[in-house]
Structures are given as structure tokens and as C-alpha cells.
Structure 1
Amino acid sequence: MATVTDPARTLSLTVVTGFLGAGKTTLVNALLRDARLADTAVLINEFGSVGIDHHLVEKIDDNVVLLASGCLCCSARGDLARALRDLFMRRLRREIPPFSRVLVETTGLADPAPVLATISGDFFLAERYRIDGVVTVIDATLGEGQLARHVEAVKQAAMADRLLLAKCDLAPRAQIDALRARLDRLNPGAPLREMAHGEVDAGFVFGLAGGSERRGDELACWLAAAEERAAAGLRAAAAAERRRLSPADPAAADRLATAAAAEGDALPLYRSRFEPGQPVHDAAVHTFVLRFAEPFVWPEFSEAIDVLLATCGARILRIKGLVNVVGESRPRVLHCVQHLRYPLTTLPAWPAEAAPVASPAKLAAAAAARAACQDSRLVFIVDGLSREVVAKAFTMFCGGVEALPAAA
């Protein structure tokens, strides 16, 4: 059962993930040069030597070193939970310099979900650390091929709260734009930044769960972008079906197909742009939105989510949304990754509903201009799981509450 985390009593924890060679350590090096991050502990959840040797100035013991930036760094070669517990206790006993946040760099083949489950599933850790977010680094020069060939790369991108494109100084603009489009289909609404040499503003990486106003604005934009992407997929699928049923007028069918491609290039099942015969691991990964006009009784909603995660968690890469609860004036914020439900948080008020337009700047402006919408809105990024199956779970467990029809 998810619990409410008190930010004032917990340490912020950020997970940096990305496929082999994406540029995670280069990013960490760049972040640690920021004086604002001097009170950061860094865990390298990787076999082998710590890859930031040029920052080392003092060896506290065999596992922990003090960096030139003032940050602590250690390599968690075994049990991540044990390393986090040990760090916290040594901080409490003042055996190491104090820190207020932890950055965990995962191995390039890691699924982020078990790392998050380690924190949320351990009572000691859940009381002392709060998950700030998942930041995924993607190689701009090799990202398209990695997403096509490796399921780990797809999961890392789909579960991200933030996406960072590394090595943009080495990739042609057309290649970067194609990769951005693919990532938008895979994780619509996730903020994305391009970077060279690992340089990025630390404010983009940290503090993702902080600031209620920021969370509300970003959730409104994230939901609107996902709804637009899902609607574009439905329009494209409908156009393809009309083309299939209209063989007598091939010219009209071609016009429909062209229009569908222009409306976001988003089909419910994403197709490979690589040669035939290559494995494509994101072939069944798609996004849909469930919207509910009626408020939920929280225990019923919670049971529906728990059953979904227990039975279909391996196919649910991400859930993000706002929930209207009976008897509550403020929305609850839902975050899930595979089998894991993040600790509950609430917003101080319902955010304005952003209009489904592509530009982030326009989304923010529309969100400020429109009246608040108190429909529950849940965005699902799934692997081979249908909207109908998920919607039925809520109808079964939540007193017959039904999802509104999909946007067309």
C-alpha cells in the first residue's frame, strides 16, 4: 500500500539511467561541478571501478570517497538497499559529511523498476528516502538502433521523468530530430533536453518532485501531450481502416493516409524504420489515456491499481495522472512504474487543463487560460496491453465507474 511521504523528513533520491555508453557518467561528472550539488551522495550501481576518478581527493574508506566537489561517492557492487542503509546510518553517526540528496547511476543494462522498488519496498528506506524521479540519458548517435534492438533501452526511455539526449554535438540534425520524434511517441510529455559534453542545468535533473505549483503545471502539460498523442494514434488508425475499406477510390485513400501521417506520425503499434528481420522491442509499446468524470472512492481505486500492478505490472511501463477522490477537494497524484506505486502526494489545487497542442510553450499558456478540469486523468505507457482491459479493471473494482470514450 502506498504511503504519503513527508518531504521535510526524507532525503531526495534521483535515478540516472541509460543504455551502455549513453553518457551517464559524463552527465554525473558535469553535475558534480555545480557547487549547488556539494551536499550530494553518489552511488554507482555498477560492477567495476568508479568512473569519476579525476574528482577524487580523499578516500574515507574502501567503499566511500570524498570528491573535490564535496560530494560523497561509492560503488554499490552488491546490495543497493544495504548501501543506502549504510550511507544513511553513517550520515546519522557523522562518520561522513552530511548530504541532502542521493544520485544513483545504474548499470547500462538495468531496468529502472527494481531500483525504484528497492527504495519503496524497504520500510527503512521508504521512511528516509523519497524518489525524486528517473532521468534517462540517450545517445543521439546510437539511440535509434538501441531502441530498436534492446528492450532495456525502451524501458529506460518509457519510465523516464526526464529525457536527456547526449552527444548532440556528434549527430546530424536530421538524426536528432528523428530520435526526438521516436521518444515523443514512446514517452509523450516527458520533458527532453539536448546536451553536449554532458552539460545540462542541474535544475532540470533535480527537484522533480519538489514544488507543488511546478508539479501541477508539468502534470497538466504531460497529460495534454499524452492525450494528443493518443488521439493522433486513433485518427491515424481510423484513416488506415478507411483506406482498407475504400479500394474503389485509391486516390482518396492515399490522401487519407497522407493526412494521417501528417497528424503526428503516431500509430497505436509503432513500426520499425530499420531493415526487415531486425528485432524491434518497442513494436507493441503504446500510450493511451483513461479519463473518468465521476470521483473515486479511494479504497476501491487503490485496490484496482494494486490488482493491475500485481497482474500486469511487467507490461505497464508507466502510469502518471491525477485522481479525483470522493470527499477531497485536491487531486491526488499517481505515479507507477511496472509493479511499483510511488508514495502518494497531493497538489494544492487542480491545475488548469492544458489544450492538446504540440508546443510546450503553448501548452503552458493554454493551461493558464483554461478553467480547471476535475476529471481523473491517467496516462498509461504499456507493452502489449489494451486500453479496454485496463478500463475494465476500474469498472470492476470501482462500483461500476466507467472511463469516458477515447478521444478521436
Structure 2
Amino acid sequence: MTAMTPPALIPLTILTGFLGSGKTTLLNRLLKDPALQDTVVIMNEFGEIGLDHLLVETVDEGMVLLSAGCLCCTVRGDLIATLEDLLRKRDNDRILPFKRVIIETTGLADPAPILHAVLYHPYLSLRYAVEGVVTAVDAVNGAATLDAHREAVKQAAVAERIVITKTDLVQDPDGLVRLHERLRQLNPGAALLAADAPAEAVVSGGLFGLDGKIGDVAEWLKTEAVEAAEHASHAHQHGHHHHPGQDHHHHHDVNRHDDRIRAFCLTSDQPVRQGTLDMFLDLLRSSQGAKLLRVKGLVALAEDPDHPVVIHGVQHVIHVPAVLPRWPSADRRSRLVFIVDDLERDTVERLWNAFLGRPAVDQPDAAALSDNPLSLRR
């Protein structure tokens, strides 16, 4: 590798799940899989996971090496400091050159600050590639947990992959089907996996591959799944699908936290000017940042339509990690996928249309979203 060649990005996966979700058992199983050799796992406390039977030797204070070739370390104060320390040790050959990082969060944790830490940090964002969020959901108590805890809903809503645990304990198969349907409605772009899914399937499949290079962008975006869920939801709201005896009251239950979570996709057939895209994203995150759980996108820029830009955002932080060498498929539309909390699609769509200069049909307030529409046509 020459001095001018940047180091390959290190894929980073966030493993989360509410208290009692089976996250500990899942992580233990993943750590035994040879596919995760040369992986570093960052956790809050070793004691929570119970690693004694896997331990080979103590490498350093707060660090253990496992038999499967995984290195585990505890968060020492600040996560950013821990991630920087790992890079320092890796670059100085003080530890083996790990190929992947998994961050295991506490059961009550919101994954967003961890995503912020990597996406927004000027150095970490050059070395680590966010592979995605994996959320464990308990097959037996998952629905009740989603009802009772808003944090659990957000953990599922921002995930790329949701692992359904404890299915062997299920005594109500219909309840499990309803849980699957609920999770698909909450996050149509997430892959639903069984607890015994291969480790590679659990921690891979995001924007970046194990080599740190751009992977399957279409699989990461899941545009088609989000659009299909939108159409199904629209048909349900405007159709006559309620049959006597069917339980649909939960859609109107004020205690149902996921009624506030929405996933939708905005598109443009025409390339978007760089300045227009920047202004749209800046205004959106400054005005609605707290409500943007995830933003993902593939955008054709008017200045260079053959090389689409990948957009990745979490709340107030919008990160542009990569320009692709080519379009991943024949579909060259600009696509932005949003997972939002207590934010109407119409609000974001009006802003998008205003910046694109689209006619404000049935959108009387669209012009008000931009004080100076002429600035969009520079």
C-alpha cells in the first residue's frame, strides 16, 4: 500500500435490543462463529455477556482475546476514545489487524448517538464504515415490550436487520405472525432474521462489505420494500379491508408507540443540483432533525449524473460517505428513504418538491418553505 492510498474502511455494526431481548445469547453465538474471526467487539461490561468459557488470554487491561479470534474490549469512558485507541493499537501493530467492529449497546440505549459518533467524527468517519444496526427482538415478549417502551420501538425502527430471538419458547404462533407483521410495518426496509441465522447474515448486508468497499446499495436502501409498504398502508387506509372478528383496533391505540413511526421514499427522475441537495438536507435537519431517525439515499447529481452519491443521515447529522463509480442497477432515479418519528410524509415531500421547483399542486404552503425560490435555480 502506497502512502497515498487510504486504508480500507473497517465495517462497524451496532448490536442493540431491549432488556431481555436475547441480545446476550445472540452475541455469544456470533462470537463463536469462525466467520467473525478478526472481529473486535466493544461492550459496556464483560460481565453482562458472560465470556468466561470463551476466554483464552488477557491481551490488555479491559481487553480479552477469544478462541474464535475475536477481540473484546470494554468502553473506557468515551466510545470515541475507545474507537480511536483501537485504531492506534491496530496501526502500531500492538493488536492484530481486525477486519470488523461490533458495538454492543445496553438494553436501554438509543443507537443514534453511536451512529453520530462515527458518522460525524472527522477521523473515525474516514476509518470506519457503518455497516448498520442489528436489533434483537424477543419473539415471546416483543409485542408487549414495543407497547410499553418507546426506546424498543426506536431500536427496531432504525435497524437494517432485526433478529427474532426465543422463537423456541413461542406458544402462540399467531402472535409471532402478528409480531412479524408489526415489525415489517414499523420498518419495511429491515431484514427479519431467525436467531440461528448465519453470523455473516446478521452482521453483513449493509452499505459496506467486509473489505470496506461499497456493497449492495439496493439491498441497503430497500426502496422497493418501503414503497410497497407505503402502497399497502395507503390501500388499507382508503379501502374496506376490515372484516368482523378481525382485530384492527391496535392501529388506533393511542398507547401504541409505533403509530408515530413512518417509513417513506421520495424520488426524482431528474438529476438534482448539488447546491439544491445540500440546501434541502440542511433545512430538513435543522428544522426536523430530532424526528429523522434514519435517512438513506442514492442521488443523481446534475453535475455528474453517472456517479450517484450515497446519503446517510441520523437525526441532525447528514453524512455523505461515498460517490459510487457507477449506478448499481438500471434504475437511475434519485431515491431518499426516510424513517421518521412524529413527522408527516407531506411535510418532507413539500420541502423536497419546493427545492426541486416542482409545481405546488395541492400544496398551497410549499412556496412558504423557501424564502427565496430563485436561489434554487442557480
Give the alignment partner of residue 205 of structure 1, picking from 203, 207, 210: 203
Counterpart in the other structure of 2:235: 235
1:332 to 2:293 alignment: no
SS in structure 2 of the partner of residue 229 of structure 1: helix
Matches within 5 A, 1:17-28: 17-28=16-27
SS in structure 2 of the partner of residue 83 of structure 1: helix
Change in 2 beyond 3 A, CA 1:95/1:201: closer
Report the count of equivalent residues.
353
- TM-score, scaled relative to structure 2: 0.84
Change in 2 beyond 3 A, CA 1:402/1:316: farther
The C-alpha deviation readout for 1:240-268, integer Å capped at 9, x for no partner, is xxxxxxxxxxxxxxxx2438x99xx999x
Matches within 5 A, 1:145-224: 145-171=144-170, 172-196=172-196, 200-210=198-208, 215-219=216-220, 222-224=222-224
Amino acid aligned to 2:271:
P
Change in 2 beyond 3 A, CA 1:14/1:343: farther
Counterpart in the other structure of 1:361: none
Change in 2 beyond 3 A, CA 1:379/1:126: closer
Counterpart in the other structure of 1:376: 334
Change in 2 beyond 3 A, CA 1:46/1:342: farther
Higher strand share: 2
Deviation at 1:166, TM superposition (A): 0.8
- TM-score, scaled relative to structure 1: 0.78
Change in 2 beyond 3 A, CA 1:310/1:213: closer
Counterpart in the other structure of 1:247: none
| Cα distance in 1 for residues equivalent to 2:26 and 2:201 | 13
| Cα distance in 2 for residues equivalent to 1:167 and 1:79 | 32
1:119 to 2:123 alignment: no
| Cα distance in 2 for residues equivalent to 1:271 and 1:143 | 19
Counterpart in the other structure of 2:74: 75
Amino acid aligned to 2:332:
Q
| Cα distance in 2 for residues equivalent to 1:84 and 1:216 | 26
- Give 5+ residue unaligned stretches, structure 2: 363-378
Deviation at 1:53, TM superposition (A): 2.4
SS in structure 1 of the partner of residue 41 of structure 2: strand
Counterpart in the other structure of 1:244: none
- Give 5+ residue unaligned stretches, structure 1: 1-5, 240-255, 353-371
**Residue 7 of structure 1 contacts residue 130 of structure 1 at CA under 8 Å; is this kept in 2?**
no
Amino acid aligned to 2:230:
A
Percentage of pairs with the same residue: 41
SS in structure 1 of the partner of residue 282 of structure 2: helix
Counterpart in the other structure of 2:259: 283
**Residue 270 of structure 1 contacts residue 286 of structure 1 at CA under 8 Å; is this kept in 2?**
no
1:271 to 2:252 alignment: yes
**Residue 45 of structure 1 contacts residue 104 of structure 1 at CA under 8 Å; is this kept in 2?**
no
SS in structure 1 of the partner of residue 257 of structure 2: coil
**Residue 116 of structure 1 contacts residue 340 of structure 1 at CA under 8 Å; is this kept in 2?**
no
| Cα distance in 1 for residues equivalent to 2:107 and 2:6 | 29
Deviation at 1:217, TM superposition (A): 4.1
Deviation at 1:19, TM superposition (A): 0.7
| Cα distance in 2 for residues equivalent to 1:403 and 1:380 | 21
**Residue 63 of structure 1 contacts residue 74 of structure 1 at CA under 8 Å; is this kept in 2?**
yes
SS in structure 2 of the partner of residue 126 of structure 1: helix
Amino acid aligned to 2:145:
Q
The C-alpha deviation readout for 1:326-365, integer Å capped at 9, x for no partner, is 132133232322223344334454455xxxxxxxxxxxxx
Deviation at 1:55, TM superposition (A): 1.1
**Residue 112 of structure 2 contacts residue 315 of structure 2 at CA under 8 Å; is this kept in 1?**
yes
SS in structure 2 of the partner of residue 226 of structure 1: helix
Deviation at 1:91, TM superposition (A): 1.7
Deviation at 1:46, TM superposition (A): 5.1
The C-alpha deviation readout for 1:186-232, integer Å capped at 9, x for no partner, is 00131111125xx5342342252235895144257x21111111112
Amino acid aligned to 2:315:
Q
Pairwise CA RMSD of aligned residues?
A: 3.0
Deviation at 1:300, TM superposition (A): 1.6
Give the alignment partner of residue 242 of structure 2, picking from 258, 262, 272: 258
Change in 2 beyond 3 A, CA 1:141/1:80: same
| Cα distance in 2 for residues equivalent to 1:308 and 1:341 | 10
Counterpart in the other structure of 2:365: none
Counterpart in the other structure of 1:30: 29
Counterpart in the other structure of 1:136: 135
**Residue 205 of structure 2 contacts residue 219 of structure 2 at CA under 8 Å; is this kept in 1?**
no
Amino acid aligned to 1:271:
H
Counterpart in the other structure of 1:100: 99
